[in-house]
Structures are given as C-alpha cells and as structure tokens.
Amino acid sequence: MDIADYRYEDLLNNGDLEQLRLSDLRCIDKSGVEELIYAGSPGDAHRVVQYIFDSIGREAMRSALFRFYVVTDVYLTAKMVMSCIGLSNEDFEKEVGSSDTFIRQFADEKSVGEYLTDLLEKCIRMRNSKACAGKSIAGQAKAFIAAHFHEPEISLSAVAESVNVCATYFSYIFKKETGETFVSYLTHVRIEKAKALLGSSTQRISQISSEVGYNDYHYFACIFKKMVGLTPSQFRKKSRAGGS
C-alpha cells in the first residue's frame, strides 16, 4: 500500500481528523534526525525520539492521525538522509521496511516510540557499515579535484555528484576524513599549483591565475597573499633568487 493511497478515514474518526487540523504539523523538528544519522552513536536514537515527542507535546500524540503523521515524517526524513549517504531506496526498504511496514506502527505512543527508535538505530548501523567507504569518498573526491581544480565552475555539489553522495553528506564526510572543508582543500590545491608555476614558468601571473581556476586575477592575488604571505610577484622573485 502506498502512502498516497492510504485512507485515513478508514481507521480514524472525525475527532481525530479535527484534532489534526488544530495541530501545528510544522512543529516536528527533524534536524535531530538528520544529525543523528550523520554523526550519532548507537543508543542515541531513543533520546532523539523522546525529544521529538516532547517537542510535539503529549496531547497531540493522543491523536492516531497525528501519530501516523509523525511516523511518516520521520520515516521519509530518514529515507532521504540515507539516500544522501548513498544508500538506494531499495536497500533502505529492505533493511527497515516499506510504507506497508510503518503504516501499522501508530497504534499508540509507545508503539510509535519503539518503531522510530528501531528505525533510527538501523539507520545508524547502515551508516556505520558504509563508514569504511568514507575514506574512499574522500580519496575519490581528491582525485576529481586534482583533475578539475583548474575549472572555475568546480563546486562542492559537482564533486559530491562525482562520488554519488549529496552535497550535505559530502561536506560532512570530506571534512571528517581530511580535516579540511572542501573550499579550503580546493584553495590549497590551487595555490600550491600556482606556486609551482610561478617558480618554474615564464607565464604571466594573470595566465597562471586562469590556469589554476581563478578568472579574477585580483581575487587570486588576494587569496595567494593571504595563504603564502607574499604577493604572486614577490613569491616569483624570491623563488628565482633561490629563496624557499
């Protein structure tokens, strides 16, 4: 059974429907779910679920329809985040069940809590099982950057797409594995290449700027000075004089 085909009226009375209309469905804070799946530890899911319940309020959780909404919202959020990490929808549903599974999990608050805790713990385990791929993701990203750093339009999203994860998760895992943000790493690669060209070629500095991915020479010079402590021309002069 698909969520879109599910008829609330088949199981819920008018009182439930009216209670849901009076509730603020936007009150569910799903940021904790996203943070848990990205960086949480086994055993943390219960705390996150309780936080969600406390934020919603016990009165709202008495509504069967509202409980259904909570289960659906958290399930779809978890599915989206796991997709971000690189898990296919098929693998996700194989591990935690499809909508046919969660549609039966809202009989009361206790069953909702147990189901959501189990769901999120499974997500953590799936994430951990892919953790060994984290270095592979960072390594693949570094190789992509090495091949494309000279392109002015290179972006975090483009690199994330090249390693088949979403930008949010890529940003998280890249910094975790390299100790640098994507922008910091890209800038470092570009400036190191610029230093090599300044010391070994006779190209104009504006040409070198373009060759390492900066169309704006003045911006390049500003970044270079900030990172190296010298202007590009000063660095070239020092390099040719035999300085380090």
Q: What's the CATH code of the domain at 167?
A: 1.10.10.60
Q: Indicate if 44 and 113 belong to the same structural domain.
A: yes
Claim to verify: residue 114 and residue 170 sit in the same structural domain: no
**What percent of the chain shows pLDDT beyond 70?**
84
CA of residue 143 relative to chain centroid, distance: 20
Long-range contacts of 210-213 (CB under 8 A, 24+ apart): 211/150, 212/149, 212/150, 213/149, 213/150, 213/151, 213/152, 213/154
- pLDDT greater at residue 153 or residue 133: 153
Task: Determine the pLDDT at residue 14.
Answer: 44
pLDDT tens-digit profile of 156-186? 999 999 998 899 889 988 998 899 999 999 9
Query: How many domains does the structure of the chain reveal?
Result: 2
CA separation for the pair 188, 185 (Å, rounded): 5
Q: Residue 56 has what pLDDT?
A: 83
- Mean pLDDT across the chain: 84
Task: Give whole-number Cα distances, 181 to 37, 60, 169, in Å.
Answer: 20, 41, 12
Residues 29 and 139 in one domain: no
Q: Are residues 192 and 106 in the same domain?
A: no
Please tell me whether residues 125 and 138 are part of one structural domain: no
Backbone φ, ψ for residue 180 (5° rounding): -130, 155
Q: Report the pLDDT averaged over residues 56-74.
A: 83
Instruction: Give the residue numbers spanning the domain of 183.
Output: 133-240
CA distance 28 to 91: 26
Last residue of a domain, one of 110, 129, 148: 129
| Domain co-membership, 61 together with 173 | no
pLDDT of residue 64: 82
Same domain, 153 and 116: no
Most confident of 11-15, 59-63, 175-179, 194-198: 194-198
Question: Residue 233: what residue type?
Answer: S
Q: What is the pLDDT of residues 213-235, one digit of tens each?
A: 999 999 999 999 999 999 999 99
Look at residue 131 in the predicted model and tell me its pLDDT: 64
Return the higher-pLDDT residue of 198 and 14: 198
